[in-house]
Amino acid sequence: MKLNQISLAVAVALAAPTAFANIAPETVPGVQKIVLSGATAPDGFVESSVKEMLQAGTIKSYRDNANATLAFQHQAWYGLAKAGIPGVAVNTPILLVKRSKGGSVWGVDPVARASRIESLDFSACTAGGADLNGKVYDYFCPTKGLDPESPNFANPALNNGVVSDFGVSDVSPALFQGPYNVEFGQGALTSSEVAKLTIKPVNTVIMGLVATNDVPLTTALSRADYGNMLSGAVQDWTQIDASLAGNTNVVVCRRVNGSGTQASYNWFFNNFPCESAFNGAVPPTSMYDDNANGIGSGSGTESDPYLIDPVGGYTVVNNSTSGDVANCLKRAQSHTDHKIKADNGKWYQVNFSNSGDPFKAIGVLSADSFGKESGWTYRNIYGAGSFAPATQTASAGATGIAPSKANLLSGAWDFAVELTMQYRNASVTNVQGDTVAALAGVKKAFADELIKRSGDPAKIALNTKNPVYAALPDFYDPFANATNEAHTAMGSHQGNMCKPMVRKY
pLDDT per residue as tens, the chain (505 positions): 333 333 333 333 334 445 555 668 999 999 999 999 998 878 888 999 999 999 999 999 999 986 666 778 899 999 999 999 999 999 999 999 999 987 788 999 999 999 999 999 999 999 988 887 788 999 999 999 999 888 999 999 999 999 999 999 988 888 888 888 887 666 778 889 989 999 998 999 999 999 999 999 999 999 999 999 999 999 999 999 999 999 999 999 999 888 889 999 999 999 999 987 778 888 899 998 888 777 888 999 999 999 999 999 999 999 988 889 999 999 999 999 999 988 888 999 999 999 999 999 999 999 999 999 999 999 999 999 999 999 999 999 999 999 999 999 999 999 999 999 999 999 999 999 999 999 999 999 999 999 999 999 998 999 888 999 999 998 899 999 999 999 999 999 988 898 899 998 8
Q: Which amino acid is at 369?
A: S
286/411 same-domain check: yes
Q: How far is CA 80 from the centre of its chain?
A: 28
98/161 same-domain check: yes
pLDDT of amino acid 67: 67
pLDDT of amino acid 280: 87
pLDDT of amino acid 13: 34
Q: How far apart are CA 90 and CA 505, in angstroms?
A: 36
Q: How far apart are CA 334 and CA 322, in angstroms?
A: 18
- Per the structure, the count of domains in the chain is 2
Q: How far apart are CA 367 and CA 386, in angstroms?
A: 13
Q: How far is CA 89 from the centre of its chain?
A: 31
Strands 32-38 and 166-169 turn out to be: parallel
Q: Which of 17, 81, 13, 2 is nearest to 49 (CA)?
A: 81
108/173 same-domain check: yes
277/325 same-domain check: yes
430/303 same-domain check: no
Q: Which of 276, 350, 267 is nearest to 308 (CA)?
A: 350
Q: CATH number of the domain that 309 lies in?
A: 3.40.190.10
Burial 229-258 (b: 16+ CB within 10 A, else e): bbbbebbebeebbeebeebbbbbbbbbbbb
pLDDT of amino acid 191: 85
Contact 457, 483 (CB under 8 A): yes
7 has which bridge partners? none
495/383 same-domain check: no
From 416, 447, 475, give the residue that closes a domain: 416
Q: How far is CA 65 from the centre of its chain?
A: 22
Contact 374, 210 (CB under 8 A): no
189/146 same-domain check: yes
The pair phi, psi for residue 441, each rounded to 5°, is: 65, -140
Q: Is the dihedral of CA 95, 103, 392, 403 positive or negative?
A: negative
Q: Which amino acid is at 489?
A: A
From 387, 416, 445, give the residue that closes a domain: 416
342/240 same-domain check: yes
From 416, 437, 466, give the residue that closes a domain: 416
pLDDT of amino acid 190: 86
222/190 same-domain check: no
pLDDT of amino acid 387: 98
180/246 same-domain check: no
209/244 same-domain check: yes
Q: Which whole-number Å values give the CA distances from 460 to 49, 131, 270, 495, in the listed order?
A: 11, 25, 30, 19
198/262 same-domain check: no
What is the value of pTM for the model shown? 0.83
Residue 4 domain flag:
no
Q: Which domain holds residue 284?
A: 205-416
Q: How far apart are CA 208 and CA 49, in angstroms?
A: 27
423 has which bridge partners? 166, 198
Q: Which of 391, 414, 306 is nearest to 350 (CA)?
A: 306
